[in-house]
């Protein structure tokens, strides 16, 4: 890819996504589950750009959404309501009502209180809410604690006993229809063991529910499939699918899988320009025009993203690649042996397609970057760069 041309045309900082790669990743996960009926419900939170969602819609993808905003994005992009799931640990009444009115596939329930709330809202609307219960199987996913969700110390899901109570409530209620079961133990998973263990626990629960005439149709295994940022040994989609399917013997269920990072993570890069280099007594800094407000993962999780100086080979004194934001925690990479740089050199930050733009902010009154898609060798703007005027639009009229 000619990053220099892209930077010239669209300026920096810039997100660039390879749509061919996205399609390839979607196909890989869909194929992995081909032994069963399956719905790949892309986790919109990973990257919610409308053009990207439209691409996935055209490929047949569903959507896993965690707000009514994400549901609206998915619908707008052409993902049909019957392929949309509403997850999340807290949902406002209005969001639940709107999801019911839009007749999405099901709502994931994450607490007893929420089960009762959804029932009440469905009753008020004269609807039957299709639900699934998010079970917390209390399994250590062995990933970063901030993105680990399957332990009882995490805020997500309910334990097995509570799940059973919720299914009994749903069975009795004329306003609830229990169609699914859900678990998601964490993100950036690189070990199959915990996934299999969790799946086996939840599959047993499905069997127990069958015995009391509760028939679960959708077995929702969440997302979490890890990708290679550096040298991680990742799980192959086929092994991932086989690991899960091996726990489902005797069960006639449709698999729902909610990958986010796997679909878009390595299909995107973040492009930023060198402003200048700075050497303090003990350290070399490469100061660039992209910052933590654009790509938060390094600052928030100490996440590793590979960086490259475009068109320059070789190594130099280890450097921190830092942005202009007024925080010591504002860095994109630390201690990398990068070659010497000149102002306007381009730095490529890799694996930035997932949880990149979506986690960006306007901190320090920095307009957010543009987003560009590469499709069959051609580049196409899919989100305009923000401008100062966009940032003050909602407040300027209140200034008296």
214-233 binders of ligand LLP (CB under 6 A): 222-225
Q: Return the number of the residue (108 or 272) whose C-beta is nearest ligand LLP.
A: 108
171-190 binders of ligand LLP (CB under 6 A): 184, 187-188
Among 259, 290, 323, 369, binds ligand LLP (CB under 6 A): 259
Distance (Å, whole) CA 135 – CA 222 = 11
| Annotation says 257 is catalytic | no
Among 260, 323, 353, 369, binds ligand LLP (CB under 6 A): 260
Catalytic residue selected from 126, 250, 326, 394: 326
Size of residue set near ligand LLP by CB under 6 A: 21
Q: Is 46 among the residues that bind ligand LLP (CB under 6 A)?
A: yes
> What element of type H or E holds 315?
none
24-43 binders of ligand LLP (CB under 6 A): 43
295-314 binders of ligand LLP (CB under 6 A): 297
Distance (Å, whole) CA 220 – CA 242 = 15
DSSP-derived 3-state class of residue 400: coil
CA distances from 172 to 177, 219, 233, 311, 385 (A): 9, 21, 46, 65, 52
CB 351 within 8 A of CB 267: no
CB 218 within 8 A of CB 181: yes
Site stretch for ligand LLP (CB under 6 A), options 6-14, 171-179, 192-200, 254-262? 254-262
Q: Is 273 among the residues that bind ligand LLP (CB under 6 A)?
A: no
Among 355, 366, 368, 370, binds ligand LLP (CB under 6 A): 355
According to DSSP, residue 384 is labeled P
Task: Count CB-CB contacts under 10 A for residue 370.
Answer: 21
Distance (Å, whole) CA 22 – CA 268 = 9
Q: Return the number of the residue (87 or 199) whose C-beta is nearest ligand LLP.
A: 87
Q: Is 350 among the residues that bind ligand LLP (CB under 6 A)?
A: no
CB 233 within 8 A of CB 269: no
Which residue ranges make up the site for ligand LLP (CB under 6 A)?
43, 46, 64, 87, 147, 149, 184, 187-188, 222-225, 258-262, 297, 354-355
For the annotated catalytic residues, the residue numbers are 326
């Amino acid at each position: 890819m000619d990053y220099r041309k892209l930077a010239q045309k669209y300026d920096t900082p810039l997100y660039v996504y390879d749509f061919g790669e996205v399609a390839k990743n979607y196909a890989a996960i869909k194929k992995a589950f081909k032994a069963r009926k399956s719905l790949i419900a892309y986790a919109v939170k990973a990257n919610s750009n409308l053009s990207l969602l439209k691409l996935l819609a055209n490929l047949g993808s569903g959507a896993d959404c965690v707000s009514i905003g994400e549901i609206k994005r998915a619908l707008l992009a052409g993902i049909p309501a019957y392929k949309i799931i509403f997850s999340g640990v807290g949902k406002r009444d209005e969001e639940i009502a709107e999801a019911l009115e839009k007749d999405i596939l099901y709502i994931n329930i994450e607490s007893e209180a929420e089960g009762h709330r959804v029932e009440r809202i469905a009753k008020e609307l004269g609807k039957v809410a299709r639900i699934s219960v998010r079970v917390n199987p209390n399994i250590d996913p062995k990933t970063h604690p901030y993105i680990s969700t399957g332990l009882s110390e995490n805020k997500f899901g309910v334990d097995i006993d509570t799940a059973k109570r919720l299914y009994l409530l749903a069975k009795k209620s004329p306003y609830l229809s229990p169609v699914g079961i859900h678990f998601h133990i964490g993100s950036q998973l690189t070990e199959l063991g915990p996934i299999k263990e969790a799946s086996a626990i939840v599959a047993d629960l499905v069997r127990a529910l069958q015995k009391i005439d509760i028939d679960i149709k959708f077995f929702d295994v969440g997302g979490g499939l890890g990708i290679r940022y550096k040298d991680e040994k990742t799980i192959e989609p086929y092994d991932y699918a086989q690991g899960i399917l091996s726990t489902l013997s005797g069960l006639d269920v449709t698999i729902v899988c909610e990958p986010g990072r796997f679909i878009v993570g390595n299909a995107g890069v973040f492009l930023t320009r060198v402003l200048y280099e700075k050497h303090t007594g003990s350290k070399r800094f490469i100061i660039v025009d992209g910052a933590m407000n654009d790509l938060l993962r390094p600052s928030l999780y100490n996440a590793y993203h590979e960086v490259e100086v475009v068109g320059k080979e070789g190594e130099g004194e280890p450097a921190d690649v830092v942005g202009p934001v007024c925080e010591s925690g504002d860095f994109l990479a630390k201690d990398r042996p990068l070659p010497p740089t000149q102002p306007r050199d381009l730095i490529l930050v890799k694996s930035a397609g997932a949880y990149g733009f979506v986690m960006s902010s306007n901190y320090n009154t920095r307009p957010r970057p543009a987003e560009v898609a590469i499709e069959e060798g051609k580049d196409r703007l899919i989100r305009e760069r923000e401008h100062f005027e966009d940032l003050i639009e909602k407040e300027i009229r209140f200034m008296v």
